[in-house]
């Protein structure tokens, strides 16, 4: 019994550790509340907004397109090459941010020990603070969905997150970001 409790405690700690270490995704969205999203059956990609090709390579563009396509398909929409009921446009931007962390070491040694004898112990000492400066990249993805006939924007989802440079992590991160923003789409996934 004690062994099982130990295993459960370790498993809970590991789950908490992974949850705490995963980068936060900031999501915002807006949509036309008068639009009946359930009437749409097809979609097509307009492509990337001009300028996106300067900051994202074709491999990652395809990863984003595939992730968006999977999410729309899960909502019952069928992809067509041209003139879908909906037109999807993607835009991405990166901003370099600067961060600073500080750690203060409050441990200090003084000249006096217990009962004022020589040696280490409580006494005078000054804490030291160590600063660490670093740069990081924040990526912002904008998904615009237009009514093709009316040429009106009917839904927009925006997701921002710290970008990881490792390709294997980036591929998983792209799927997570798109899934997180598409959860705000008015039609829920069917699976």
The Cα 117–Cα 109 span in angstroms is: 13
Q: What is the pLDDT of residues 152-176, one digit of tens each?
A: 999 999 999 998 878 888 888 999 9
pLDDT band of 98, cuts 50, 70, 90: confident
Locus of tokens 């924040």: 138
Residue 92: other Cβ atoms inside 10 A: 20
Q: What is the pLDDT of residue 105?
A: 76
Class of residue 138 by CB neighbours under 10 A (exposed 0-12, middle 13-18, buried 19+) = middle
Residue (of 174, 169, 187) closest to 65 by Cα position: 174
Distance (Å, rounded) from C-alpha 148 to C-alpha 164? 35
Tens digits of residue pLDDT in 117-148 = 555 555 556 677 888 898 888 999 999 999 99
Task: Give the Å distances, CA to CA, from 115 to 52, 93, 108, 112, 124.
Answer: 70, 63, 18, 8, 14
The more confidently predicted of residues 154 and 6 is: 154
What pLDDT sits at residue 38? Answer: 94
Q: Give pLDDT, residue 183.
A: 96
pLDDT confidence tier of residue 1, bands split at 50, 70 and 90: low
How far is it, in rounded angstroms, from Cα 78 to Cα 108?
67
Residue with the bigger pLDDT between 149 and 6: it is: 149
State the pTM of this model: 0.73
* Domains along the chain with CATH numbers: 24-182 (3.30.160)
Angle, helices 167-182 vs 58-74, to 10°: value is 40
pLDDT at 47: 84
| Residue 19 pLDDT grade (very low, low, confident, very high; cuts 50, 70, 90) | very low
The pLDDT assigned to 103 comes to 84
pLDDT above 50 (res 42): yes
Of 1-10, 31-40, 62-71, 90-99, the poorest mean pLDDT is in 1-10
pLDDT given for residue 17 in this prediction: 34
């Amino acid at each position: 019994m004690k062994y099982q409790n130990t295993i459960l405690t370790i498993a809970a700690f590991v789950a908490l550790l992974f949850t705490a270490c995963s980068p936060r995704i900031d999501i915002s969205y807006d949509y036309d509340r008068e639009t009946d999203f359930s009437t749409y059956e097809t979609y097509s990609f307009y492509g990337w907004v001009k300028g996106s090709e300067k900051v994202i390579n074709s491999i990652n563009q395809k990863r984003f397109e595939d992730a968006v396509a999977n999410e729309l398909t899960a909502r019952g929409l069928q992809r067509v090459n041209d003139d879908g009921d909906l037109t999807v446009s993607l835009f991405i931007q990166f901003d370099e941010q600067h961060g600073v962390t500080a750690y203060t070491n409050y441990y200090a040694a003084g000249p006096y020990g217990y009962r004022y004898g020589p040696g280490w112990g409580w006494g005078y000492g000054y804490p030291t603070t160590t600063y660490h400066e670093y740069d990081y990249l924040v990526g912002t993805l904008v998904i615009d969905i237009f009514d093709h006939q009316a040429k009106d924007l009917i839904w927009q989802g925006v997701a921002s997150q710290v970008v990881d440079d490792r390709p294997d992590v980036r591929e998983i991160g792209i799927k997570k970001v798109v899934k997180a923003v598409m959860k705000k789409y008015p039609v829920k996934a069917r699976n």
